[in-house]
Amino acid sequence: MKRYTSRATKVLAIVVLICVAVVLIGIILAFAGAKNIGLPFGFILSGGLLGVIFLACFLAEKSRALIIDTDKIIFPRGAERNGKTVFQKTVVRICDLSSVESKFHKGDKIISDDCFFYTFRLKDGTSITITLYAYGKEAEKEILKTIKSGMV
């Protein structure tokens, strides 16, 4: 079983750890008896509030992992099934896949970059569309190679 997580997961984990460190610094300054009492409370409040926000983002991003098992693929939330966005994980058996199509999407270079949208067609006529851009170029190639080799 291979689990792919987005590149943002590691960055968000580091930011959460930095927020925890800021809170700890604020607590140490408060107990050390800092002359300016606003400084430790500022550290604790800013680190705590930002830490909660980034922790929620980290947990949400971590739950969006794509999992490829020996006989099935578990697509993350947000995949499109027959043109409708599904807000739960989509499980597809590899033997049920009939084809994989890719469509290039030109990004605006400000919010989004160029990427491919992959449409997985199942033997029963269902189509699942997803982008693999968040996992990185190398992981994207590896995911497609693994899925295509299992389809044969």
Residues 133/140, Cβ–Cβ less than 8 Å? yes
- Could you tell me where the DSSP H helices lie in the chain? 8-32, 38-62, 137-151
Residue 112 has pLDDT above 90, yes or no: no
How far apart are alpha carbons 108 and 114 in whole angstroms?
8
Q: What is the mean pLDDT of residues 39-58?
A: 96
Confidence of residue 142 (pLDDT cuts 50, 70, 90): very high
Which amino acid appears at position 7 of this protein?
A: R
**Within a 13 Å sphere around the CA of 106, how many CA atoms are in the beta-carbon half?**
0
Residue 152 has pLDDT above 70, yes or no: no
| Tokens, residue 99 | 């084809």
Confidence of residue 55 (pLDDT cuts 50, 70, 90): very high
